[in-house]
Structure 1
Amino acid sequence: MTGRSVSALHEPAREPDPGREPLRIWGGVPLRNPAFTGRESLLLTLQRALERRAKASVLPHALHGMGGVGKTALAVEFAYRYADRYDLVWWIPAEHQSLVLQSLYQLGRHFDTPDTADLQQAANLVLEKLAGSDLRWLLIYDNANEPEDIARLMPSGGGHVILTSRNPTWSDVWDPIEVDVFDRPESIELVRKRSETVSAEDADRLADRLGDLPLALDQAASCQAVTGMPVGEYLSELEQHVRELSGTRPPTYRTTIAALVRLALRRLRSDAPAVAELLEMFAYLGAEPISGGLLRRGRDARVSPALGQALRDEVAWRRATRELRRYGLAKVDADQRIQVHRLFQGVLRDELTEEAAQRGRANVQHLLASANPGDPGDMATWPVHRDIGPHVLPAGLMEAELLDARRVVLDQIRFLYLSGDLEGSQRLGEAAVAAWSKVESTPGLGPNGELTLTAKRRLATALRSLGFNDRARVLSEETLRLLLESPEFGPDHEHTLLTADEVAPNLRIAGLFREALDLDGDNLERHRRRYGDEDDETLKARQNLAVNLRMLSDFAGAHDIDTAVVRTWQQMVSENDNRLLFAQTNLARDLYGLGRYDEALEILQRVLPPYRQQLGPQHPHVLLAGRTLAITLRKVGRYTDALTVAADHHRDSESRYRPEHEHALAAAMTYANTLRVTGELESAEAIATESIDRYLRLFGETHPLSLSAAVNHAIILRGLGEWARARELGERTYAQMTGTLGAGHGYTLSAANNHANDLALAGETEAARRLSAQTFEISREARGGRHPYTLWCGVNAALDAIVAGETEYGEALRDETLAALAGVLGADHPEVIAAGEGRRVECDLEPPPT
């Protein structure tokens, strides 16, 4: 805030509190206009409106319904004058929802809000933080013209919000501050600030001709000052252009603005052609500021000669941007970001000759295509992708003849997804697919074109992350089919392999584990043919195959794959390389599934610290590893530690993901399972109930993940003594598990063991004995005799045999399994102790991530 001065209004809202610290957070507010003129009554009205209702909309007067009256300038001046009365002042460009989300995300970094996979979720966290804070804050949403998009991106209360807009509907719910043209003394003051040589009489003539419109006055006074043209001569030339534009119709404000732009362009084309060509481009750029550095990144692009020369010469470039500012046609801030008023932009689009329009549009498209940094998978490219984003649609990149310009759109779809703007990625992806699918006879486009199919794949990824699972699956499967059938691509093409990688997760989410396994198995062979055995992509394909095996309860098969992948990475990278750490966390999941809890815990405790340090605690891979750590701590009997880790993981997952996200639901079930073993049954039941409702909405009643959650819920209900509810749920779930996954799947065996507990509690001794004995035998065959879950089944089978009168057999089996459990888990393990006391054992479920 260096150099910022604060002036008092006539009636300040409140005096600064001398006991409070000065302004601590200030972000995004444009530079103060040293030539700001008048508006004292409007500033006072705005201040009073905020004190009365905490929200105010700054709108153009209904009489004009146009820009150029100074809404943004008024908000900027208010921010500076009142800055010392706030702890936080934050400026939010609000023309597009993506810009609002990104701005709120940046604000959240000042509050140490957790990283999230979804910018909407990040924005919600910031808004909640503000609403509940005792900070004195001011948010300014500039150019918020879509109420439905922006209203849900504002705090519910707690501070002040200013909104500038051309849309008068905001006045229906907020105090409207209507901004009209200048009073004549204000107009004269502005003109004379721009040029001291202009007399008050000439300033009055100029103001009268321009209708006291602030934007027009500022531009005209700047142009007159830089050219030195007498006001009379300037008005004469202006009048000529107005007559050309309006003909016999009465001139309007827009006609006047168009005449001003024509007059300035004529001068620039004569005196500074590079500046004229630079201005032409702004007809096809977004209204948000664009970095001069971004434009110069594209300086090797094929652009018009004068502009190209200026872009390649630093001195010439600074001269061009300086002239644009001196003519009153643009603002250029300290970071060399250039912004042309949207009213000027609209006039340019209407008034440029066909030749100039084609030149401006082509220059923009070639520059942005050349400046595009490529693969957004490298986070170092994100600042440039973020700068390009607001200009993609205004520049017409989606319709460009230049193929590289269309590739910018593809990179933006992926960037928006990776940076967390899932809805933005979806919107842009849908627009690209719709537009490109219709184009015929153009390389890369049409229903089977490379760009169209790539856009479909990236759209499917965004849809899956947003929970539109059916749409994502249909789209990805259709795209894969087209690639497989295409003579241009075929089964071993890179696009085909990438798309197959996208199809398999959709199959797993649909519960089609076998189909996903077959697809990933085939995909792995094609990766080997294309890339070789030790390529990064092939190793990822091997890991994908292991994911399917874990879902099918084949932890031994997954362990073989992941062991080999870990060994390969160990030979290729350093011990703290993220790819190796990820492979080791997968191996820990396999070991957990095999019941080798101590080994899994050793790996996780070793790899998680460097993993967190490098990727951060909220990274999806780190969160998944943290869940496995919580589960493993519980299984080795360290319940207190497990509860701490599970609670932290649940909190972090809810912060990062939407509540319906698969990983957030899994975190909730892990937390519920941990609360249960620590005796907090009521809390566990509340979390489980809420999670199951979400599982059912997201996945349906018969999906293995929903059924697994039901198994855990039934265990909690038995613990609470609600035996009838537990039995009804457990019996139904066991039958559905058997039908869906088969009798030998690990999930089904857990459901069977737990249903045998229902039967025993109901006094159905023989039925309990038969089911527990059967489950024990199948588990020994499927999971091995020394797997902890097999031994739990053995404990219950022994208890049922004793109750049924098979005392000798039952006692022998009990002693044998208890000894084995003590050897596997330790004699002091809480569940080993409980089993030794004759209590039945529950088998909860913790499905691996899909």
Structure 2
Amino acid sequence: MSGVEVPGGAWFVSHAGADRAWAEWAAWQLVDAGFQAELDYWDWGAGDNFVLKMSAALERGRFLALFSPAYFEPDRFTTPEWTAIMAMKEKITPVRVAEVVSPAILRPLIARDLFDLGEEAARRVLLEAVSSPRRPTVAPAFPGALRQLGGSGPRLPGSLPRVWNLPARNASFTGRDTLLVRLRQTLAASSRVAVQALHGRGGVGKTQLAVEYAHRFAGEYELAWWIAAEDPALIPDQLAQLATRIGAAPADAPSADAVDALSGELRTRSRWLLVFDNIEDPELLAPYLPGGGGHVLITSRSPHWQAHASPLNVDVFTRAESVALLHAHGAVLSESDADRLARTLDDLPLALVQAAALLTDGLSAADLSAELARNTAEVLAEGRPAGYPVSLAAQVRLTTTRLESDHPGAAALLAALSLLAPEPFPITTCAGHLPANASTPLADALTTRLTGSTALRAITRHSLARAQDGTLQLHRLTQTVLRDHLTHDQREQAGRDAEALLTAANPRSVVRPSTWPAWRALLPHLLAVDPALITSEAGRDVVRDACWYLLDRGQARTARARLQQLHHTWSRQLGPDHEGTLWTAHYLARAHDDTQDHGRARALDEDTLQRRRLLLGDDHPDTLTTASNLASDLAELGRAEEARTLAEDTLTRQRRVLGDDHPDTLSTATNLAMYLADVGQVEEARALAEDALTRRRRTLGDDHPDALRTVRFLEQLDAARRDADIGE
């Protein structure tokens, strides 16, 4: 009845969102008894100003307030109502729909109780509470929108229909009020059969939400039936059982005939609810979706329901809901410990329930945190939490086992990502570029962008990760469980696949601005991967270059810590003379320089230079690069003459080996100009720098960082000359 104007003298029914079932029942009873009732869900349109509509309702009528714990929560939408009605307190008629103590300012008002009564008794109490001279003498027309609900109207909230097979209600159910209200609004607003698909990752509480919805709004339905749909082959028998229960088909009818009879019966009825729990393939469920004026709820890990239902994503808890759940399950811990634990567990309901069970078994918050840090998967494999079929670890294992059977390449991709960061990884950019060390399933899955998209869809169908714009992001807890359950051989193969992904996604040049967005996206994974898993020089290159990218961004301390780890690991694995080790030492020396530790930089570069001269010879480009770096270290330490001598020798060799315009040659030339200036040879420095600038502008462009660096040096020389002239 949205948008219908209600005449004067109506009762405005005020309630919290969590108590919508009570509000609809109360409003119905008022209308049925001849009163006029105004309810926001029935009478207000989208975009209406809530406070203005409520104030207008108070001006022309009275105020039936449904008191409950949710009603007095400080952040509920009822707070604006109190602002408007405090001056009109005599117009409030309160009734309690749950055990609650009213705020002090409202305690003088006598509130009758509707809960814990039979339906007739509750109706009588409600009507006695609102009876007054304002009651109309003529019953108003019965609102059309109310008739659409069918039957004789909603029953007392909490009362169950005669046809009912739903699981027991979870006594510790916590939070989700916003989702429940949104779900109810969407279902009640539909003029045809309403189908809602609750989708989300395993352990997020989709089934619990469906159970809570069915119980909370049981009074709105004449029948409610639960179908365990994980195995689609078992759906017909469960629907046939319902057909027999309501008399639509005889008990001995074949399942297919009974399902057809049930569909025909439901098309003639309203106020029914079917729940299909844990179905993954929309196409397999489509034949069993009936028409008519009822409601269908689906729970699924797959988000791909657009063709058959309105998808509603069920995400993790808010932090407040997580803390409330821990306490509701009996966990005794401080707010800070609860917050820390919820953050560790990603606010995932199933993981929180498991943690609460361990805490109530005597484990302290500190001990639990330590166990989670040691082996998350082992902790999350403990027991079977009440209300959930399996533990989180078992659920992840079962789902990945199914994925391995359905799509081995997608499973290989998941295993590889479990060894990287829990951030989006650019999967589609890798398609067609995987190196030879990738496993066959992964290579097959990422042969083209099309096959890559198929792999992503297979993974998201099980809600094991989030896919968006060609990237894939593993949920952190899922990633941890997957990683902890890899065997030694599986981890080695996953490591090779992770390296293959990093190599295929390599953005290449770190000095080219056009590649920087790609480096930013890949950086978390390059910093997270265990260097011991990197076995190829291409893999080592991209991991090292990530540190160079950080150095160029001014994040030298982060780069230095990572390079120290890389150098230690690869020195042990490859030996000190391996090129992979020597190049890592080269990068680490720069990191020491950038953090003003020039002594360590010099020691590393001296050692590298000595090794490269022995291994490669004095004129090898890599040897000359190290020599140029060592000259820079010497200059930073104040040993300008030694720096000049080494740089002059290096420049001569580079011009002969690489040519006058090579970037390395020009870098050494610019550095030598600086050393010459330091020892007083200013004119020689200027001539050398001007020649380097001309060549850099010609080969790199005027705006290249190396060209601009040379410009700044020449400007410094000019400034020094002006200062000297002024001094004279």
Please, what TM-score do these two structures have when normalized by structure 1?
0.41
Higher-strand-fraction structure: 2
Give the structure with higher Rg (CA): 2
Please, what TM-score do these two structures have when normalized by structure 2?
0.47
